[in-house]
Amino acid sequence: MHRHLKTLGQAPVRLVLYPGEGHGNRRAAARLDFHLRMLQWMEHYLQGPGGAPPPFALDYAEQLDAPGANDVQPPPRSNGQGGLFAHPS
């Protein structure tokens, strides 16, 4: 998505890399920051003038060293017995 929007050149885009995260954020603080940035970007550039553009600073960075910050577990995977990706029988 970042590369495509950058190629179009119609709105400024920013690639934000979260410390210790890969493609997909496991830490709740990183997920929250990502979704808030996306919401602010969409409100600012898609809804028209008004909302503030997303901030540059990573406000959650100080939480990375907090006790329990690395305790976030990924959601359980489906065992094929149902769930989001179950095939009808």
9 C-beta neighbours (distance < 10 Å), count: 8
Q: So what's the pLDDT on residue 89?
A: 45
- Which element (helix H / strand E) includes 33? helix 28-45
Q: What sign does the dihedral 5-8-10-13 (CA atoms) show?
A: positive
Instruction: Give the pLDDT band of residue 61 (cuts 50, 70, 90).
Output: low
- In the predicted model, is pLDDT for residue 22 greater than 60? yes
Residue 85's pLDDT is: 45
pTM beyond 0.75: the answer is no
